[in-house]
């Protein structure tokens, strides 16, 4: 990490992170198959949620990333989740993913992503893990599982670790978003609380309503900072 006196070098992945941060949300799609993901993506984009993470535990994830990237181009930020190895990272980049998310600190994933001009967000929980993840050069760190801590934890970390943007993920409810956002996180990652059963049963009107609620919650939290 650079010192306060040295300007951080411009990196091609930084605009990706800036765009995610401006919206404050990453929608996480995880299911046995990606059958319903295109329809979910349509609804998310219509609602104003542009960062969409396709987890590699989903059968057909790479093909889905290719198809969504081709369909939406720069209109959306299509990324990959549960990326654990450099080989997986290369496959995701080749498929068109613009950001990679890991549940653990995986320096090889960050190196592969940065070489390709793609953002990578390694996972961490403790102060030591978060510091180490930040030192890989990642533009932000996934705080996981967020259910193990609280928004106060983020506030407490901001003193000793002010230069590490955090994206808490795992166990955050829609009603809990304002507290996390007010604590100063860069964005929140939302899976089931946002997507509901749409990933397995298909899209209905409730998904759009949850999207609106989530975006309003981000705005509410930021207004309280």
Residue 53 appears among annotated catalytic residues = yes
Q: Over the chain, what is the mean pLDDT?
A: 95
pTM across the whole model: 0.93
Active-site residue among 67, 108, 129, 142?
A: 142
Cβ count within 10 A of residue 202:
12
pLDDT of 7 strictly over 70? no
pLDDT of 191 strictly over 60? yes
Written as one string, the DSSP assignment of 49-65 is: --EEEEETTSBTHHHHH
Q: Spell out the domains of the chain, with CATH numbers in brackets.
A: 14-223 (3.20.20.70)
Residue 142 appears among annotated catalytic residues = yes
Active-site residue among 13, 35, 53, 220?
A: 53
């Amino acid at each position: 990490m650079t010192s306060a006196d040295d300007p951080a070098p411009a990196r091609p992945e930084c605009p990706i992170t800036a765009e995610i941060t401006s919206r404050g949300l990453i929608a996480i799609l995880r299911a046995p198959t990606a059958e319903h993901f295109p329809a979910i993506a349509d609804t998310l984009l219509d609602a104003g949620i542009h960062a969409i993470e396709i987890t590699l535990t989903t059968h057909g994830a790479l093909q889905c990333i290719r198809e969504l990237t081709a369909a939406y181009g720069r209109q959306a930020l299509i990324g990959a989740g549960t990326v654990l190895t450099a080989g997986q990272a290369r496959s995701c980049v080749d498929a068109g993913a613009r950001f990679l998310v890991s549940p653990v600190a995986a320096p090889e994933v960050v190196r592969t992503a940065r070489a390709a001009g793609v953002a990578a967000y390694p996972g961490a929980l403790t102060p030591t893990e978060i510091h180490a993840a930040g030192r890989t050069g990642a533009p932000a760190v996934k705080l996981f599982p967020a259910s193990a801590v609280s928004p106060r934890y983020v506030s407490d970390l901001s003193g000793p670790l002010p230069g590490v943007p955090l994206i808490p993920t795992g166990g955050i409810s829609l009603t809990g978003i304002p507290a996390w956002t007010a604590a100063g996180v860069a964005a929140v990652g939302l899976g089931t609380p946002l997507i509901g059963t749409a990933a397995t049963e298909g899209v209905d009107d409730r998904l759009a309503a949850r999207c609106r609620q989530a975006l309003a919650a981000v705005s509410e939290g930021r207004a309280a900072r």
